[in-house]
């Protein structure tokens, strides 16, 4: 009797364990470097909601914003090692992985409009670019937009010559390095999480970012001037650890792909709105003076930055650059 009773309890305990295991959700750790209220932060939140709803709780998405888990370079290493499952790094940060082609997005003025940008990111060129991640153990899911960058510094910047001699923070892209050198500035690669402090301590004189990043990182506290140059693009590739992704049950992967498609639509809808809102908010602080270029000044910036494309196209791939230019024509 005693033996039967203890057998009953052991089996019951085992069944409980099995069912708890069957119900424990698949966890996706999604790390990123911007604030939760920046466009990428908001799109990540939307993905979390959509993914958890679509999978009826079988997937749990844990968000780690603002470099709380990893900084720029570390987060890519962490993804490859499987310490996190999902990231959305800026397209300017893939060079150190050995993927130079993503730097095509950094070529100044390469996208004359958002329509051209979307025809690239949502079309065959974008698909081919994401495929380049596979040999690195990474699956590319999508592109998220965050609009065009503006220069900021502690002195007024109207013409390209105003940049000369400044030390400016850049992301880890050789194209951005070339861009700054062409302007006679000194580029300084820094992780995004280090930018505010570097500006505050005058380790660097200025930087480039869309208004949404400048505002949500409070860079307006440490930059007296900002100029709407819209000279370069900032967007993201949403990526996952390939082994993790391939190992998911097929139905869950389908649901997550659907959630990602919807989150991408959301990301690309809010990017411009959020940047417009952020620019208005920066102006309202009264701490950073925002300068709008006149037509002559705009032309001077284009002319000054034109040589960048010629200098970098060999590195990136002439065909890729030509194909994007074709979309823009
Ligand atoms: C930067 O490092 O300036 C940006 O790429 C940060 C981001 O992810 O928007």
pLDDT in tens, 67-126: 999 999 899 999 999 999 999 999 999 999 999 999 999 999 999 999 999 999 999 999
DSSP annotation of 134: G
Query: Two tokens at 304?
Result: 């000054």
Dihedral of the alpha carbons of 82, 86, 92, 98, in degrees to the nearest 10: 30
Nearest residue (by CA) to ligand 1, atom 8, is 90
Residue 64 CA, ligand 1 centroid: distance in Å:
15
- Contacts of residue 250, Cβ cutoff 8 Å, sequence gap at least 6: none
Query: How many of the other CB atoms lie within 10 Å of CB of 112?
Result: 11
Q: What is the pLDDT of residue 18?
A: 47
Would the CB of 267 count as within 6 Å of ligand 1? no
Tens digits of pLDDT across the chain (329 residues): 555 666 555 655 555 454 544 578 999 999 999 999 999 999 999 999 999 999 999 999 999 999 999 999 899 999 999 999 999 999 999 999 999 999 999 999 999 999 999 999 999 999 999 999 999 999 999 999 999 999 999 999 999 999 999 999 999 999 999 999 999 999 999 999 999 999 999 999 999 999 999 999 999 999 999 999 999 999 999 999 999 999 999 999 999 999 999 999 999 999 999 999 999 999 999 999 999 999 999 999 999 999 999 999 999 999 999 999 999 88
Pair 234, 210: CB distance under 8 Å: yes
φ/ψ of residue 7, rounded to 5: -65, -40
pTM: 0.92
Q: With the C-alpha atoms ordered 178, 184, 187, 193, is the resulting torsion angle positive or negative?
A: negative
Residue 192 CA, ligand 1 centroid: distance in Å:
6
Q: Rg of the chain over CA atoms, in angstroms?
A: 23
Would the CB of 33 count as within 6 Å of ligand 1? yes
Across-strand partners of 170? 189
Would the CB of 216 count as within 6 Å of ligand 1? no
Burial class (CB in 10 A: 0-12, 13-18, 19+), 215: buried
Q: What is the pLDDT of residue 329?
A: 87
Query: Two tokens at 187?
Result: 């580029």
Q: What is the pLDDT of residue 156?
A: 98
Nearest residue (by CA) to ligand 1, atom 1, is 192
Would the CB of 192 count as within 6 Å of ligand 1? yes
User: How far apart are alpha carbons 245 and 251 in whole angstroms?
Assistant: 12
């Amino acid at each position: 009797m005693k033996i039967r009773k203890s057998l009953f309890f052991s089996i019951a305990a085992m069944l409980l364990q099995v069912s708890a295991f069957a119900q424990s959700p698949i966890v996706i750790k999604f790390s990123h470097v911007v604030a939760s209220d920046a466009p990428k932060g908001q799109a990540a939140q939307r993905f979390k909601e959509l993914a958890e709803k679509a999978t009826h709780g079988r997937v749990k998405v844990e968000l780690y914003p603002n470099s709380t888990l990893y900084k720029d370079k570390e987060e890519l290493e962490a993804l490859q090692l499987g310490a996190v499952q999902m990231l959305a790094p800026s397209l300017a940060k893939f060079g150190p992985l050995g993927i130079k082609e993503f730097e095509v997005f950094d070529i100044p003025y390469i996208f004359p409009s958002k329509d051209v940008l979307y025809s690239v990111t949502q079309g065959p060129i974008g698909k081919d670019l994401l495929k380049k991640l596979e040999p690195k153990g990474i699956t590319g899911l999508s592109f998220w937009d965050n609009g065009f960058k503006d220069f900021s510094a502690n002195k007024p910047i109207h013409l390209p010559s105003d940049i000369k001699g400044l030390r400016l923070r850049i992301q880890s892209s050789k194209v951005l390095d070339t861009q700054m050198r062409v302007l006679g500035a000194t580029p300084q690669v820094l992780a995004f999480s280090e930018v505010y402090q570097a500006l505050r301590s005058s380790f660097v004189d200025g930087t480039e970012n869309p208004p949404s990043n400048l505002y949500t990182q409070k860079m307006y506290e440490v930059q007296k001037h900002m100029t709407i140059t819209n000279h370069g693009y900032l967007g993201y590739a949403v990526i996952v650890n390939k082994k993790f992704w391939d190992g998911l049950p097929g139905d869950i992967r389908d649901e997550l792909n659907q959630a990602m498609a919807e989150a991408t639509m959301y990301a690309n809808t809010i990017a411009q709105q959020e940047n417009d809102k952020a620019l208005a908010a920066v102006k309202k602080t009264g701490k950073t003076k925002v300068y709008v270029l006149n037509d002559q000044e705009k032309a001077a910036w284009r002319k000054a930055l034109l040589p960048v494309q010629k200098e970098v196209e060999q590195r990136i791939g002439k065909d890729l650059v030509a194909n994007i230019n074709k979309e823009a024509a």
